[in-house]
Chains A and B, each alone.
Chain A
Amino acid sequence: MSIDAQSINGAGATFPYPIYSKWFSEYNRLHPEVKINYQSIGSGGGIRQVSEGIVDFGATDSPMSDQQIARAKVKTQHIPTVLGAVVPVYNLPGTNKDLNFSGDVIADIYLGKIKKWNDSRIAKDNPGINFPDQPILPVYRSDGSGTTYIFTDFLAKASPDWAARVGRNTSVRWFAGIGQKGNEGVAGMVRQAPYAFGYVELIFAAHNRMPFGAVKNPAGSFVKASTDSVTAAAAASAKAIPADYRVSITNAPGAASYPISSFTWMLIPTVSKDAGKTRAMVGFLYWMLDHGESEATAQSYAPLPKQLEESVRKTVAQIR
């Protein structure tokens, strides 16, 4: 029986683009009749296009809101694929040690309440380091992005003031600092401007060898982001994950959990328009769970925890 060649189109978040493109090309090598194309246009674009049926699947860093789900023409299922994290980066001349930051300190930096590096609250978390009497330049993302969603989600949990005045979204009202476009923009500005402070994706910081700081988790320990600490955050939250996987795992419990972690999801339509494409997509998802996840670490992405893989497998089995 000949297998029909399938060409599947997807669009969405930029964060998982490197690992997705590696997975898709490797899957195509193993199954030459299945060609999956992915355009990284951003989470918002991905949600919009899959909801209107323009693409066969979407990808997003921030889960769809109830409103977006209600208004979608094509109903989709969230499938978590890998985990990512957001790390604080900074440029402090004269110090190349890793700094520690509490969530409420970061929130107050971006609210403009902490204005200088030698503020007592920063010094409290970093004993033994001499901070200069210089103003902090907070750098944020001027374009809407899943990274901002994850970051503001964490800040909203860590600081009630932030939750009241700003909230969480892909694009928010920033009280202090300057905006730059993309992870590259933020990283570039932080690298170039002394006394700057910003936030970027872990993958980005790792690939560009940028020093980043540790963040305090709810258990009280300062944890630096790594594939282990991020997967630990997901594992610790495994019990609280709902059936549709739309969950936020920032500020996860557990001493080893990194507090600014998040899933990234693929949005797969629940009602199949094309049986061949659905079969091919399901085949890819099984391969991803069996083989793809183990390759994630090599690319600096955190794989799904074992407990979650089982339930994801069951969900994929229901897609037809």
Chain B
Amino acid sequence: MSIEQERRVVQQISRPVSMVAETVVSSAPTTISPIREYLNNRGSGRRADSSFAALMLVCACSIFVIVLFIFTVLVMNSHLSLVAFGWKFFMREAWDPNAGDFGALPFIYGTLMTSFLALLIAVPLALGVAIFLTELCPRPLRAPISFLSELLAAIPSVVYGLWAVFVLVPLMRSTIGPFLLKTFGWTGLFEGPNFGVGILTAGIILSIMVLPIISSLTRDIMTAVPNSQREAVLALGATKWEMIRIGVLRNSRIGIVGAVMLGLGRALGETMAVTIVIGNHPEITKSLFAPGYTLASVIANEFSEATGDLYYSALIEIGLALFLVTIVVNAVARLMVWAVTRGAPSRTS
């Protein structure tokens, strides 16, 4: 075939089938529609596509780079404190900015204690909400109730702190505190004066804040359990509660643990609401009425006025510890939740 003929064949191939017959008959070029002409002249979009893909990759990597950058800055700025105290920093019980003596143990205790209390109160409630909404709730009520429970997550934490100071703290002082002392005083956990602020109050306010996270994720996980499991258990003669326990909860155990850990991740980093009601006193006491101090609160309170390099550096080291702990907890939690919900149908409300 001559080159001329080859070109014509290629042109024919790129034309709609109906026009091919015409071009075979006539050797002169027929009119091409403007759209076809435009499309023919565009050329390959390879360069535009690959540069767009590269740009999106840069955006995606930028998040990772920012996190890495934060980590590097934290390590560099806590250098002084790392050198002065070493790893014992996290096991010392001291906080004297005037004498330059710092130790993070009271804050670690406060953070763990308040988070543990928050989970103790929130997990049963969140499980209850999730079970009710997925298994027991009549369909028309499902959407409004789930919307309301997730509304709790939208409230800013400062507002929680404000509510706590004006409502929860006086309530603790006048009603809840004396009641707990009367019923559970034998445990030795409720000794000492009760001023309304303290670890218990902080734990309660944190539990309200992590409740929507745990309940919403648990609902996702429970919905991911296939209906065949439920039907199978019911077919064996189980009651409704046994069906929920054996067919659903047992299968979603890992995911629920993941949801709880995500709630823990939020509780660990919560600052404003906690700092308002925890009493900001860096001491480890057994009593739940006593004031405490958390990692996030000490940074929020003391960072802007920190004079002295060692003080500054010690606060940044606390920030580094908080950063690492929260990342690890969140990463493990996400992994667990993903392990259960992958390939599952999306939640139907």
Contact = CB atoms under 8 A, between A and B. Distances in A.
Interface of A: 41-45, 47, 68, 135, 137, 142-145, 166-174, 177-181, 185, 188-189, 192-193, 196
Interface in B139-177: 165, 169-170, 173
Nearest to B280: A179
B272 to A, nearest CB: 10
A271 B33 CA distance: 78
A46 to B, nearest CB: 10
List of 6 A-B pairs having minimum Cβ-Cβ separation, nearest first:
A144-B305, A179-B280, A178-B279, A142-B280, A173-B96, A44-B305
B98 A177 contact: no
A172 B302 contact: no
A193 B195 contact: yes
B307 to A, nearest CB: 5
Contacts of B98: 166-169, 171-173
B291 A145 contact: no
Main secondary structure of the interface of B (DSSP, over half): loop
B304 interface: yes
B165 A188 contact: yes
15 contacts: A41-B304, A42-B304, A44-B304, A142-B280, A144-B306, A166-B98, A167-B99, A169-B97, A171-B306, A172-B98, A173-B98, A180-B280, A181-B301, A192-B165, A196-B195
A54 to B, nearest CB: 15
A44 B306 contact: yes
Interface residues of B, number: 27
B304 A171 contact: no
Contact of B305 (A137, A145, A167, A173): A145
Interface in B302-342: 302, 304-307, 311
B252 interface: no
Contacts of B81: none
A304 to B, nearest CB: 26
B279 A170 contact: no
B195 A143 contact: no
Contacts of A47: 307
A179 B193 contact: no
Contacts of B311: 171
Interface string B279-315: 1110000000001000001000110111100010000
B96 to A, nearest CB: 4
Nearest to A67: B308
Contact of B193 (A68, A135, A167): A135
Contact of A178 (B97, B197, B301, B304): B197
Contacts of A171: 97-98, 302, 305-307, 311
B207 interface: no
B196 A143 contact: no
With most chain B CB atoms within 10 A of its CB, the pick from A144, A169, A179, A188 is A179
